Structure 1
Amino acid sequence: MSAKDLLIQLFGLPKGEIIFQDYSCALKGLISKYGRVFVAENHICFYANLAGSKTNLVIKLDDISKLESKNKSDIDITLKDGRIFCFNGFHDKDQVYNLMNALISGQPLSNQQTIQTTTDSARDDDSQIENAEVEIQFLQAGASMDQEMCKFTFSFNLDKFFEFFFADDALVYSIADHRQSEKDTDIQLSKWTPMEDNPAMFQREMKNVIKLTGVPFKDKSRMHKLFTYKKEADKIIYTCTTHTLDVPYGNCFQAEEKWEVSSLEDNKCLLKIFASVVFTKSTMMKGTIMSKTMSGLKEDYEKWINNVKIKLEAMAKSQKSQASNINHEFEDSKKLDDNILNKIMQTNQSQQQKLNTSQSQFYQGRKSELLYLLSIFLLIIIMLIQIGILNKQSQKLENLEQLVLQLQQR
């Protein structure tokens, strides 16, 4: 099956549809999707498959109401139903726009466009099949990541690893920190968001500009990275797909990385990094591209781990210093508390002595008062007793007088 037949089958196009050209680009959205746009006789098609997230978009030319070329990199396609699709990241945006505009408006293609189409059609079948097989296998099955680049053991658990390096607000060394250490510019890193077709997996993207060395007439290049991660009970799978947009043959390949972080005993974790270069187009420079890309990735991992070690050591020293300061502050506070306590105890003793003296004087005064009151009370009791005795004697006399009177009457 030829490349043309594979693409017609992939997009569901009518047999005999002419596919004039394809371009590397991105479909803008909350998370941009980097893939390829195919400009055909009656359709504009886009396909992306990054880390298992597939996008297959087919637009009929008859459904397009407006085609706009915006700023330096965007091409907007507005459909009759109101939907708008924005593409950017083209190597030559004007060339893409002119081809699309000519097909939509029914204008004849330019000589250059006709030559490109004829040249593409004149390729031998083996070359076309090789291109399509590489690209289709990648789109359907993903990249092969069987080359282990390096592995590191960390003395903290899986959750700490994520908080230190992968989280949006990474505590130790984020991907943005690493790119800044490499003097990259225009760094734009989005937040993690759940993937629409797999909510258990999260994704984010980063755009930045890197410095180039050893590339003729180029000293910098735009870079686009798409990250994903998925947490499991004892493992985190983190992937990165990288497109280097402005290097020679940059539209022919992409770098694929997988970071596998596993839990170990003793509250530790192990990081293994796998990498590969995936070719979306056939090129004679395949060996050179693969060699330079893999060596560049290895060098980048070495820089990353060295910077991580420096950050972790600085963090450990800071924590020890803080602990030492806390101990000193505690000792100083303890001494101060002891001095204050001694002063308080001395003051309390003095106050207690004064209180004891005052209480002694008070008790002596109260004792005299009580004795005086007690003597008065006793006198009152004696008087009451005497009064009672007198009353009894008086009663007896009255009774005796009454008895005498009764005897006299008789």
Structure 2
Amino acid sequence: MAVASSSSVDVEPASASPSKPASDAAAQRASSSAAVSPLSADASPDHCDSSSNSSAASQRDAEIQSAAALRSEEYRQLFRLPPEEVLVEDFNCACQENILVQGHMYLFVHYICFYSNIFGFETKKIIHFRDITSVKRAKTAGIFPNAIEIFAGGKKHFFASFLSRDEAFKLIVDGWVQHGNGAKAIMENQDSASESSFRDNGVEPEKVKISEIVDDIDTTNRREDTSAPEDSNLLPTIEDDNASTAVREFQDSVEPLAGPVLTSEPSSPAKSWAWKLEDSDAPEIPECYTKVAETTFQITVEKFFSLFFSDDAVEFMDSFHKKCGDKEFKCPSWLPHDQFGHARNVSFQHPIKIYLGAKFGSCQETQKFRVYKNSHLVIKTSQEIADVPYGDHFRVEGLWDVRRDGNECCVLSVYINVAFSKKTMFRGQIVRSTLEECREAYAIWVDMAHELLRKRSLEQKKGLM
């Protein structure tokens, strides 16, 4: 349950970023300065109430429209678009350059724009819908389904770390169909699908579009809402053997947010993990790990796992994440694994404490556990967080070491290691801020754990009275 630092590079930018517009502040000023004319004392109560409500509602609508117009105009000028362009929607995301650059995507009527300003370094992209030849959903690192790939003007543009990927994808496709060559491209693809074959690394736009259409069909089939999308009449029916094989391969490659360790589902709703001691000693703690928390509990090691990490402890874990400001916590059941003993993948949205970029980052955490001799429990975690500067350069590895202390006690020690996959000049600052945030988070966890045990002890005493 390591916590990747959301403020890993806390550097104040040279200038305020237009990715968070001044029009928001203007809207606040407009709202605070607006005044409602006092009602006449001679007016009837009913007339006063209806007039007041109608006036207030009209004023709120006018303020909202004014703020939206200011915001749209600010971004139109930022990208120097034609005067008739209107901002449709914007999304937090990252653009893949030499590194993954965090910023915002702005969808206009005829353009897709991206802007980022990190530490004074600006990145700006403008893509006209008419230049687009292909749009498809994609996966970050081949695992996380939070990316969109766009081919335009002979170039590939890769946008990742979307919090609302499917919503952004639909708006992009709608704009492409209405104002670009999307409808024509999809229809051409529909005519050629029966005689096309796929290559995993094909560069022909038609083949990329077929993969996208297959993706759209697969997503539609998996939706709980069975109503067909508005553009469903554009989706081709692929019948040839090569295309069918590609469809099957593509569907087999689609995975949920859970990582590769969860490759099977429990055969029944019964407990999917077993408290099984291995006939070997626990490995030594690697020197690269730093201890960030330690405490003693007046319970056995098995009870510790049952209360805080088992499938029955999801409520406690959810409470901890909410205490840390996280949201959308998801925790599947433990599953047996030949290499790791037991494993599961946890996901949640973690608040980002830096000035620029998204307010929340998508966290993916793999958890594994084994029980060694003398009930020595070792829980290993590996966490990656998107939407933070240099988030693709490192991961946070955690190690929970729980040793038996006598017959009815156990000692918990938590260790952290920040493992880097790429070089960066901010390495030292990332490590320091990550360790600091982890110490704060695990102090909260320890307090909550002891509080839970105190409540259980009181309930047991009341039950005996």
Which category describes the TM-score, using the shorter chain as reference length?
0.3 to 0.5
Which structure ranks higher in relative contact order (CA pairs < 8 Å, sequence separation ≥ 6)? 2
TM value normalised by structure 1: 0.47
Larger % of helix: which?
A: 1
